[in-house]
Structure 1
């Protein structure tokens, strides 16, 4: 049997987060001692680890709650659970695409800054503070667009 503190150390979690999850009934079968202190057994630690992983994936508390309720029903709820997990996987894929766009934007910025340092170009055309200097410069416009996240 483990206390909140024990489980927090074991899983690398904040004790307040664990209490939050237990207060929102996300850990089925959680027991309490005679003083109403939360007591975790291996099953409740396993549930907590599952909740932690789902939450780390960005899943909403509402979806996690639904998922847990479906788990408690048993194998007959597999199609619904699969759909919840599949949807979250798709959400993560979309986030990764967005993050790759952001990384590409930063790569373009770094390349531009290297050109500034090497003297290959003399004005930071992506800096709005310097745009007036390049008002009619089509090349500057093209470089700004290359550094735009939306253009990737």
Structure 2
């Protein structure tokens, strides 16, 4: 694999996060203890590592699609943002959206992180914005067909 290096510190007993397959955009993140989620319950779960996101990049933590599709478990905040200055343990706020109790054993892959560059912007206050074809048309403005 070719890319930037990222320093990672593991908590006791945790394994180094890894990509499941060559070419994957995200590396899998695993919980460090057993988790039992009742229907509609949530829990913030440690993922066993802290890291140094490279400067100019952000770590985006996404749910794993299979966990949501098969068990109804996803991230409570939809997508997590790990800034390059953060040095604490990366955690996952899991939520069970199903009607069934879900048990996830220690080591379960519950989410994934994609590290991407970002463009910082200088925010400028203006009186109005330029016109576009879409304008202020919001949710559903283009229909479903």
Return the index of the structure with the highest Cα Rg: 1
- Tell me the TM-score normalised to structure 1 length: 0.20
Which is helix-richer, 1 or 2? 1
Higher RCO by CA contacts (8 Å cutoff, separation 6 or greater): 2
